[in-house]
Amino acid sequence: MAKVKTAALGYPRIGEKREWKLLLESYWGGKTNREDFLAQMKELRIRRLKRLQASGIDYIPVGDFTLYDSMLDHSAAFGLIPDRFAGLASQDALDAYFAMARGASGAPACEMTKWFDTNYHYLVPEWTASSTPSLVRNPWLEAFLEAKRELGIVGRPVLIGPYTFVRLSKGISGGALAEKVLALVPVYIQAVSELVDAGAEWIQIDEPSLVTDVPAEHIELLRTVYEQIKAAAPAAKLLLQTYFGPVAHLEKIKLLPVDGIGLDFVRDGGANAEAIENSGWPADKTLGAGIVDGRGIWRVDPDAALGKLESLGSNVAPGKLILQPSCSLLHVPVSSKLETTGDLIVRHSFAFADEKLEELVALASVWESGKASARLEENRQALAALQAHPARNRAEASSSAAVRAERAPFEERRVLQQNKFKLPPLPTTTIGSLPQTADIRRARVDWRKGHIGQAKYEEILREKTELWIKRQEELGIDVLVHGEFERTDMVEHFGHLLDGYHFTGNGWVQSYGSRCVKPPVIYGDVVARGAMTVADTVYAQSLTSRPVKGMLTGPITMLAWSFSRDDLPKSEIAFQIARALNVEVLRLEEAGIGMIQVDEPALREIAPLRRGEWKEYLGWAVGAFRMSVSGVKNETQIHTHMCYCDFHEILPAIEAMDADVISLETSRSHGALVEALREEPYANGIGLGVYDIHSPVVPDAQEMLGVIRSALAVVPSERLWVNPDCGLKTRGEAEALAALKNMTEAASLARQELAVGK
């Protein structure tokens, strides 16, 4: 067989034990000075490069390491600093960088949203009419030179392409997209030219927007962009990298003036492979073949991967094939070697970032030599054992479900619920979680290590619940929560209480900024066990005469924020989870809890990247949510919550969920949703988040009052709720109390204005 190279498209930045996260938070907290912070960040970068170097892959990515987010790095490098940060940027670039990410006094943070359909959040670039990009800094050149100087690595710099950068930006009207993309071309020419002059061989330019709906006229724009870059830097070997699905207009994309194209052969549904099988591959272009799943945590099926290679190899010229993961390994943990507990069959089936690189090297070796590989034979045996696992063959996980009577229309339910709860206009509530302070985290660690018993741990949790029930009452909040002090994570917590889940010891991935999560693993059929939330919620309700919401995580979010099995359709897994959650919903109602919140922040984020596939997805996603709350009484008020997505795109689906109240994150994009609701009013109860809980800045009551006023322009007062954007788990107690005090004051002022207006 012909020689085949291997590459990584990107690699986790957080470190095996979240060293990156801890360093960031130490710096933000003033415990590490700037000089030490930057020096230690360099140490982490070098350590990361050494791991990549030791893996044996041929092309090592550089420039994908960041102090917060890669899209934010591009905005800063291109000089696209929003006006509200301009003064700070002129004084201190690093302070301005973190202010854009986290906010500063009088300057709200940049909008944050999900990176395509992944669980990673990026900072949305902002353009104005006066935005004029220029290369104020070349961080990719800095990263390339550092790798070369420190370790002798000739890395493959990774840039986000101009088309994708603009497509993912805000402040650009549809007609101005081409203008903004072309305005970036000189910037990319300069960055690429400097990299070539420094000795870069290949330069990876990521254009994942090519797997979304791409208007036909954008193909000519792409041709113009890459013709100009190639003409200005003819020595550059450009790899146009795509991922997360099949490429739109692949036949035309293949003809773009680049030296190679990277395609995803894992999440393409077979479309990319079929297109190449049908029409071949250009003899002058390298194919970056993404055959190892960059987003899943299971070992690669060697026979399936080698079968794909066999097909691709017959269409690609000798020496023109590079084996890669399907996308950056940012989305998986660093190494499965640290996993030493839990079901042996399950954890033996894992392949995290380091193992995926090993798999690529093994696949390349087999492809070249034709000899068997012990490494890949181990994969075959591990995957066969996993498929035979009894947890994957539970009779009680049948997809059938009892048909329950539909609830009455919302207006009838609203009257019944208002008579029951007697809430004031603009009722106030929080999303669910309250600050998890060091004492709670310490108690949880002590409990897990056996240093304190179950009874003592529950006593600590109840004391914290009692404290916060009292605080919520003193603040004047109308609908209370128990605080979720027993929960480490809104998905992991419930996974521990359901069958079919496995939990890693160190399977951390980055969610946004320094926020890391440890997604549970759905490896088997999901079924209910005992009560999950009833005792905690009933205890909280016993402390107050105000309603306390029962709090659950919905089936789509449980699916989306877990690493899931890949042998079943996602819809089937979602309905398994929905049936298990419905058991708990009915338990809560039976226990006297009259408000139950089933959160679905992930509903929009895992929608297919092509709009033509939305109808099918939203059909089963909404169906799973409705199944999870089916059978409740009309007087029981069902809440849900969503965050960080373009809600206006799915308003019909949100209505179809038919929750009595939905709370939405809107502080970073409030105007867009208000305009959407003006055009397409929402009929049920709705709370538009009045402040951003991810920023340490506490807005005053007048600022929140302004948000409420704008919401009242599109939502009648009898249906508008007042709440923060998201849960408060990560905020400090003093900060949370101050913000909630301002929120209830703003609601009170708004009620006074309503009374005067009558």
The two tokens of residue 220 are 């000519």
CA 220 to chain centre: 32
749 Rama sector, left if φ>0, alpha if ψ -120 to 50, beta otherwise: alpha
| 371 labeled binding residue | no
| 432 labeled binding residue | yes
694 in active site: yes
The two tokens of residue 701 are 């009551």
| 623 labeled binding residue | no
d(CA 718, CA 484) in angstroms, rounded, equals 28
| 20 labeled binding residue | yes
| 641 labeled binding residue | yes
| 301 labeled binding residue | no
d(CA 606, CA 589) in angstroms, rounded, equals 30
Instruction: Quickly list H helices, 233-352.
Output: 250-253, 271-279, 302-313, 344-347
| 327 labeled binding residue | no
The two tokens of residue 181 are 């993309």
Q: Taking Cα atoms as reference points, which of 435, 489, 417 lies closest to residue 721?
A: 417
Contact by Cβ (8 Å): 596, 532: no
> 75 vs 91, 127, 182, 222, 645, CA distance in Å?
17, 10, 16, 20, 20
Strand partners, 241: 206, 262
> 631 vs 30, 582, 681, 753, 755, CA distance in Å?
52, 8, 27, 39, 38
Amino acid identity, position 438: A
| 484 labeled binding residue | yes
Q: What is the DSSP letter of 420?
A: H
| 31 labeled binding residue | no
| 297 labeled binding residue | no
The helix or strand, by DSSP H or E, that contains position 320, with its residue range, turns out to be: none
| 19 labeled binding residue | yes
Instruction: Quickly list H helices, 209-340.
Output: 217-232, 250-253, 271-279, 302-313
State the burial class of residue 369 (Cβ atoms within 10 Å of its Cβ: 0-12, 13-18, 19+): exposed
| 515 labeled binding residue | yes
| 433 labeled binding residue | yes
State the burial class of residue 311 (Cβ atoms within 10 Å of its Cβ: 0-12, 13-18, 19+): middle
Contact by Cβ (8 Å): 208, 609: no
The two tokens of residue 702 are 């007048």
| 146 labeled binding residue | no
Handedness of CA 279, 280, 286, 289 (dihedral sign): positive
DSSP, collapsed to helix, strand or coil, labels residue 548 as strand
- Helix 302-313 to helix 374-387 angle (10° resolution) is 120
Query: Pick the catalytic residue: 331, 502, 670, 694?
Result: 694
> 452 vs 341, 457, 539, CA distance in Å?
21, 7, 22
Handedness of CA 333, 335, 339, 344 (dihedral sign): positive
Contact by Cβ (8 Å): 321, 381: no
Amino acid identity, position 114: K
Contact by Cβ (8 Å): 461, 753: no
| 81 labeled binding residue | no
| 516 labeled binding residue | yes
CA 456 to chain centre: 35
Q: Taking Cα atoms as reference points, which of 563, 418, 559, 447 lies closest to residue 503?
A: 563
CB atoms within 10 A of CB 250: 20
| 706 labeled binding residue | no
d(CA 736, CA 328) in angstroms, rounded, equals 36
Q: Which residues are annotated as a binding site for L-homocysteine?
A: 431-433, 484, 599
Q: Which residues are catalytic?
A: 694
Q: Which residues are annotated as a binding site for 5-methyltetrahydropteroyltri-L-glutamate?
A: 18-21, 114, 119, 515-516, 561, 605
Q: Which residues are annotated as a binding site?
A: 18-21, 114, 119, 431-433, 484, 515-516, 561, 599, 605, 641, 643, 665, 726
Q: Which residues are annotated as a binding site for Zn(2+)?
A: 641, 643, 665, 726
